[in-house]
């Protein structure tokens, strides 16, 4: 059943998806192209296909999450995998120990893919080094949230055809946002120009070393951008007093109906959710015609299906190679 | 390498397949053509065009990507990584007579995968298999309802279909 004729040179080889920083533009594009083939599954009567039948996916979440966890579970279910939920709200044990112990337990359960979210940056990478199963990063510390980055560029590509030359603003609490980082890697690798927008107190240290422009004024960039991604103010992560008041933040950095009047008519409005209505984004804008916030949720399942499929495929190939010497 | 069919022969085979398919359509049954990516897609489009012309109404035509239904995903062979493409079937397949189309029928595994994929899309009235070339080497109990050309190729031989839409040439070869 081998495909005849011309075969593409490119081959997907990663059995882990740890971050987008390490991926090439070609790899990112390959994931997006693959994801297109999975869109149709969610739209039909039988919302299931069999490629991961008999595979066990573990959702290992050390941090609260509803939507990402459900999105991964749904993606795994649609590919006919079995899913075990393993959530640990607040691990008080030292990180390294917990992870290694957990990893051993998971191995003993015969898992194939671990989807991990952890408050420590680098946890997925550590896990990938000590178990045989595939590891997919569902958010680690302030480092990366690769599937969110992928679903964001997938959503933009669907609307605009390509990321090349697009001007994109990512607005809000950049310093605590792994979404901003994964977005930045994916978007810039695909040829977009990214501007981080927010108060100086919410910019990460050494931000000037990242491949982005920086602006402290939303009013300066609103007219120029093709895409605007409004980050959620993560009250649970904010320490100190990064801005004087919620109202003041909203005044300077909220996406209001007034500001939208100055934006390009076909601007895409994004938000990784869950949204704080009236804070970083006004309801009319979040529900307006430029908003793709709900498409992002739908596309999240699609992109995660592609990721689970690809890492499993790479693992199967590596195993076959090992067996054949 | 030996040329089994040239452009003219392929054209005449497609005409014959069209007539045979039409002759078998029961009264009052809607038909649709669905091709298996990638060469089956092209053969399907050509058949659908001819069927539409002869019948005098538009016969729906779709494309099925069977990658997710393959039986070798967990035992991959080196060098041929399966690539997921899109399934594009914009019509309802329920209660239709589906003409499933591929370029070559060999092991029967693609046809098996395609039938499983189709069943997940709906419940057709019947599925009939039409292929341009039917070659020896079946591994599954699957036969073509409409076989354009029977090639008695040895197992180690490769039967390849080239079509102008995808390959800039039009022939069937064995090598």
Q: What CATH number is attached to the domain comprising B107?
A: 3.40.50.2020
Query: Do residue A1 and residue B107 have CB atoms under 8 angstroms apart?
Result: yes
Query: Do residue B38 and residue A309 have CB atoms under 8 angstroms apart?
Result: no
> With 80 as the cut, is the pLDDT of residue A9 above it?
no
Higher per-residue pLDDT: A169 or B153 = A169
Contacts of A35 (CB under 8 A, 6+ apart): A150, A154, A299, A302, A303, A305, A306
Averaged in consecutive runs of 10 residues, what is the pLDDT profile of chain B (175 residues)? 96 97 96 96 98 96 97 80 93 97 97 97 97 96 97 91 96 95
The alpha carbon of residue B5 is apart from the nearest alpha carbon of chain A, in Å, by 17
Query: Do residue B80 and residue A2 have CB atoms under 8 angstroms apart?
Result: yes
Residues of B with CB under 8 A from a CB of A: 38-39, 65, 67-78, 80-88, 107, 109-110, 113, 116-117, 119-122, 158, 160-162, 166-167
Higher per-residue pLDDT: A107 or A287 = A287
Percent of chain A with pLDDT over 90: 79
pLDDT digits (tens, 9 = 90+) for A40-56: 999 888 999 999 999 99
Among candidate residues A81, A16, A133, the one with its CA nearest the CA of residue B68: A81
Mutation for testing the A interface, residue in B62, B70, B82, B84 having most A CBs under 10 Å: B84
- Quote the pLDDT of residue A103: 79
Average pLDDT over residues A173-186: 96
Among candidate residues A311, A45, A272, the one with its CA nearest the CA of residue A174: A272
- Quote the pLDDT of residue A2: 41
CB B47 within 8 A of CB B33: yes
Contacts of A40 in chain B (CB under 8 A): 86-88
How many domains would you assign to chain B? 1
- Quote the pLDDT of residue A95: 56
**Residue A92 CB coordination number (10 Å):** 6
Query: Do residue B65 and residue A37 have CB atoms under 8 angstroms apart?
Result: yes
Asked if A36 is an interface residue toward chain B (Cβ–Cβ < 8 A), one would say yes
Distance CA A286, CA A277 (A): 8
CB B41 within 8 A of CB B67: no
- Quote the pLDDT of residue A105: 84
* Residue B3 belongs to a domain: no
Distance CA B66, CA B68 (A): 6
Max alpha carbon distance in chain A (Å)?
A: 65
Higher per-residue pLDDT: A7 or A304 = A304
Least confident of A83-97, A145-159, A223-237, A306-320: A83-97
* Residue B132 belongs to a domain: yes
The alpha carbon of residue B81 is apart from the nearest alpha carbon of chain A, in Å, by 7
Confidence label for A5 from pLDDT (cuts 50, 70 and 90)? very low
Write the class of the CATH domain A146-297. alpha beta
pLDDT digits (tens, 9 = 90+) for A248-279: 999 999 999 999 999 999 999 999 999 999 99
Average pLDDT over residues A16-27: 98
Query: How many Cα neighbours within 13 Å face the side chain of A77?
Result: 13
Average pLDDT over residues A135-146: 97
Domain range annotation of chain A: 25-144+299-315, 146-297
Confidence label for A101 from pLDDT (cuts 50, 70 and 90)? confident
- Quote the pLDDT of residue A81: 98
Question: Which residue segment(s) compose the domain that B60 sits in?
Answer: 8-22+30-71+85-152
Q: In this structure, what DSSP letter does residue B76 have?
A: P
Higher per-residue pLDDT: A223 or A101 = A223
Mean pLDDT value across chain A? 92
How far CA A139 is from CA of A124, A283, B47, in Å, comes to 9, 27, 49
Residue of A nearest to B65 (CA): A37
- Quote the pLDDT of residue A242: 79
Q: CATH number for A25-144+299-315: choose from 1.10.540.10, 3.30.2130.30, 3.40.50.300, 3.40.50.1370.
A: 3.40.50.1370
Residue of B nearest to A79 (CA): B68
- Quote the pLDDT of residue A89: 59
């Amino acid at each position: 059943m081998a495909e005849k004729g011309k075969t593409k040179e490119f081959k997907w080889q990663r059995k882990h998806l740890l971050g987008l920083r390490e991926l090439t533009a070609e790899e990112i594009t390959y994931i997006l192209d693959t994801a297109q083939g999975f869109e149709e599954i969610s739209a039909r009567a039988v919302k299931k296909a069999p490629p991961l039948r008999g595979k066990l996916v573990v959702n290992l979440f050390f941090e609260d999450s509803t939507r990402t966890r459900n999105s991964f579970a749904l993606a795994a279910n649609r590919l006919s995998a079995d899913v075990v939920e393993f959530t640990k709200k607040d691990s008080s044990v030292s990180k390294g120990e917990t992870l290694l112990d957990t990893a051993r337990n998971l191995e003993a359960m015969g898992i194939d893919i671990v989807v991990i979210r952890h408050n420590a940056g680098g946890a997925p990478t550590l896990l990938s080094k000590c178990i045989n199963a595939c590891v997919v990063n569902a958010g680690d510390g302030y480092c990366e949230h690769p599937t969110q980055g992928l679903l964001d560029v997938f959503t933009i590509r669907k609307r605009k055809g390509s990321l090349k030359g697009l001007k994109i603003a990512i607005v809000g609490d950049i310093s605590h946002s792994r979404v901003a980082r994964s977005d930045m890697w994916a978007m810039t690798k695909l040829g977009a120009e990214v501007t981080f927008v927010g108060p100086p107190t919410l910019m990460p240290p050494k931000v000037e070393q990242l491949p982005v422009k920086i602006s402290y004024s939303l009013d300066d960039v609103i007219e120029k951008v093709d895409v605007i991604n409004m980050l959620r103010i993560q009250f649970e992560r904010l320490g100190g007093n990064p801005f004087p008041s919620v109202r003041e933040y909203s005044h300077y950095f909220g996406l209001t109906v007034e500001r939208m009047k100055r934006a390009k008519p076909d601007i895409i409005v994004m938000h990784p959710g869950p949204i704080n209505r009236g804070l970083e984004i006004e309801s009319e804008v979040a529900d307006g015609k430029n908003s793709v916030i709900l498409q992002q949720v739908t596309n999240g399942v699609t992109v995660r299906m592609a990721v689970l499929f690809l890492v499993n495929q790479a693992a199967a190939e590596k195993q076959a190679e090992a067996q054949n010497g | 390498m030996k040329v089994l069919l040239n452009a003219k022969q392929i054209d005449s085979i497609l005409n014959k397949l069209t007539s045979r398919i039409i002759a078998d359509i029961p009264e009052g049954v809607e038909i649709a053509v669905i091709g298996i990516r990638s060469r089956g897609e092209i053969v399907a489009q050509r058949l659908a065009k001819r069927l539409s012309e002869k019948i005098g109404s538009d016969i729906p035509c779709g494309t099925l990507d069977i990658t997710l239904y393959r039986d070798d995903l967990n035992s991959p062979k080196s060098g041929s990584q399966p690539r997921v493409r899109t399934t594009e079937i914009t019509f309802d397949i329920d209660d239709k007579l589906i003409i499933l189309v591929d370029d070559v029928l060999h092991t029967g595994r693609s046809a098996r995968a395609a039938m499983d994929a189709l069943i997940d899309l709906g419940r057709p009235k019947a599925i009939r298999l039409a292929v341009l070339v039917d070659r020896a080497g079946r591994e599954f109990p699957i036969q073509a309802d409409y076989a354009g050309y029977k090639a008695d190729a040895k197992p180690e031989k490769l039967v390849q279909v080239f079509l102008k839409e995808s390959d800039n040439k039009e022939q069937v070869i064995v090598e």
